[in-house]
Chain A
Amino acid sequence: MIELFFQYLVAGLTYGTIYAIVGIGFNIIYNTTGIINFAQGEFVMLGGMIAVTLHGFLPLPLAVLGAVAITMIIGGLIEVTFIRWLVKPSVLRMIIITIGISILVREGALAVWGEGVRALPYFTGNEVSSLELGGVRVSPQVLWSIGVCSVIVLFLNLFFKHTMLGREMRACAANRDAAALCGIPTRNMITLSFVLSAGIGALAGCVVSPITYTQYNIGAGLAIKGFTVAILGGLGNSMAAVAAGFILGVLESFSIWVLPTAYKDAISISILLAMLFIRPSGLFGNKEAMRLKDF
């Protein structure tokens, strides 16, 4: 019983990392542009898929690096092609455009990779190898995903707080007009935010791919989970998104105990709806901070 409990916990944490990363991806773009990128989940899918393909002729670390780089380029291209030149687009317009992008990316992936389910090999060891941690057996890949998630969060923290570029992006988030007046190329910052969130999405997609597998259509589901996480943590707050990601992952994992697996998605989305109705500022957010956002 107690063993099963930890199994579910670990599974929940693994899914939680990927939800957290998608949630952070939402936040990065939301903070610089004020839009929600409905295509966010597709970056995770692209990362996993491209890495699997590259792994056909490259060693694993290079394949992962290559996949992250290519997805970053795709993220940048998407922004430049579809979003950069729009003058003050309405929220509705942006929602519909990013949904359209996500459909095109998904259909493109279907054309390139087919319907097959793919996975990268385990980074260390294999399906059956496990580490013993205080009496609980944990797959090394779980440690990889949690570790990579931590590194991403740490990196983002350093980047946003201690580099010029990161500070410029935050300035752009706080007040775009003022940032532009200070000579910050705000349009480039927006492109950069897409590149960055594509990159971390792709990296997460690679790391969890051995456990959760990758398929052309996983993006939409991940996007809605990632948004749930972003809302749970309070939109725009990346650190809270990590905590919210773990909460959602674990809740979802334990829901299998009481309800059939098929309803797993319904559970997490019900959490999203409940949050939106009761406390749209998030578990950790406050109403005053919400009012500062521009909608």
Chain B
Amino acid sequence: MGSSRYRPVIILIAVIAAIQLATLVSGKAFYLTQLTMTAYYSLIVIGLCLLMGFAGQISLGHAGFFAIGGYTSAVLTTLDLAAYRDTATAMLLTRLHVLASRQDLYGATMLSVHPWAACAVAVLLALAVAWAIGIPVLKLKGHYLAMATLGFGTIIYSIVLGTQRFGAADGISSVPPFPLLPGASVSGTASQRVLNYYFAWLLVTAAMVLLVNLINSRVGRALRSIHGAEDAASAMGVDTARFKLSTFMLSAVLAAVAGVFLTHFNGGIGPSEASIMKSVRYVAIVAVGGMASIWGTLIMSVVLNFFSLRGYFGTFDDAVFGGILILIMLFAPDGIIGSDLRALVRKLLPRAETVKKPEK
């Protein structure tokens, strides 16, 4: 059964490589920048797909987790602790590589948190917030859940926008590159473009493998049972609260990781990344992708994010996503990869729900 589950993953890897080669051949390597950003946004969206499509819990605040990741990393890596260089704590932390010296724009030496350490803090913080918020919020249903998550997103947005340390309306800029290996880093420099493209999509591929396995496991069946009928699932012995919470936390971590790396890639982050419109956009993409189809969601995420980032929607960017939401929900609540198309796609991309053919 393993081979059919991983076939789409292999196709994905092939497509990733093919696109890179295509941009190389056609001399349009600049597309890779948007495709890299698309990858990070896709990471949030597939996490949200697991939460919405499989566990059946809507979140209108996922941009908040993205912002928690991005802003934590941005604040910690741009913090200048040079004044505390000689304190015992700072020396210990430097030895542990938690703090690292680097040159700022003007050549002065500054001491700030190492990006890896900042990333760990960001992920832990996102986990902690998701846990603390998730326990009460996931008890809610329907409109209450939607409003509570919307409220969470709005709180993060207004904190980010109203706090001087977070750069208020300007956001945080001059975030340093994120070192991966010697000579390789997550940054916006043109020489690292191909590497960044592959790194971002590697993360997406890894997340997809994780989610595909999760969906096909006992956990995935438990989640679908929660989506179908929570009370029945509970009666059958599924610990609904725990499954919902861990899904929420997993999707929050994916969003935070996306936030961390996109911030280093862009060299900064602004409050618009935390805005409600972003959260709504992620929900829109999951809806278009067919709610309970991570492959459909990934495909729509790539298409819509790429067009949006390339500026094809112009000033109607938000309106396009609003319109998509309405049209999809009115005419095709199961996504545009509708029944006919879906049957076709199912042949090409075996999905979680597909009944497994008997093994020969």
Contact = CB atoms under 8 A, between A and B. Distances in A.
Interface in A258-295: 260-266, 269-270, 272-273, 276-277, 280, 295
Nearest to B139: A277
A263 B158 contact: yes
Contacts of A220: 276
B146 interface: yes
A65 interface: no
Contacts of B321: 103
A38 B154 CA distance: 14
Nearest to B152: A273
A90 B58 CA distance: 13
Interface in B315-345: 316, 318-319, 321-326, 329-330, 333
B147 A97 contact: no
A272 B158 contact: no
Contacts of A97: 325-326, 329-330
B237 interface: no
A227 interface: yes
A273 B134 CA distance: 12
Q: Label chain B's interface by main secondary structure.
A: helix
Contacts of B311: none
A107 interface: yes
A86 interface: yes
A99 interface: yes
Nearest to B143: A36
A262 B330 contact: no
A95 B149 CA distance: 13
A108 B139 CA distance: 36
A96 interface: yes
A100 interface: yes
Contacts of A263: 158-159, 162
A106 B143 CA distance: 21
A162 interface: no
Interface in B28-81: 58, 60
A101 interface: yes
> Taking chain A's interface residues, is the majority helix, strand, or loop, or is none over half, making it mixed?
helix
B179 interface: no
Interface residues of B, number: 42
Contact of A82 (B277, B284, B330, B333): B330
Contact of B140 (A96, A265, A276): A276
A114 B151 CA distance: 27
Contacts of A96: 283-284, 287, 325, 329
B136 interface: yes
Interface string B157-177: 011011100001000000000
Most buried by B among A97, A99, A270: A99
Contact of A262 (B137, B144, B163): B163
A142 to B, nearest CB: 26
B154 A95 contact: no
Contacts of B58: 92, 95
A58 interface: no
B319 A95 contact: no
Given A220-B276, A262-B163, A107 B319 contact: yes
B208 interface: no
Contacts of A101: 322, 326
30 contacts: A35-B143, A38-B146, A95-B146, A96-B325, A96-B329, A99-B322, A100-B322, A100-B323, A100-B326, A103-B277, A103-B280, A103-B321, A103-B322, A104-B322, A104-B323, A220-B276, A224-B154, A231-B144, A262-B161, A265-B158, A266-B159, A269-B154, A269-B155, A272-B147, A273-B152, A276-B136, A276-B137, A276-B147, A277-B139, A280-B140
Given A103-B325, A266-B158, 19 more contacts: A93-B329, A95-B143, A97-B330, A99-B325, A103-B277, A104-B319, A221-B154, A224-B154, A231-B144, A231-B147, A262-B161, A262-B163, A262-B168, A265-B154, A269-B154, A273-B155, A276-B136, A277-B137, A295-B141
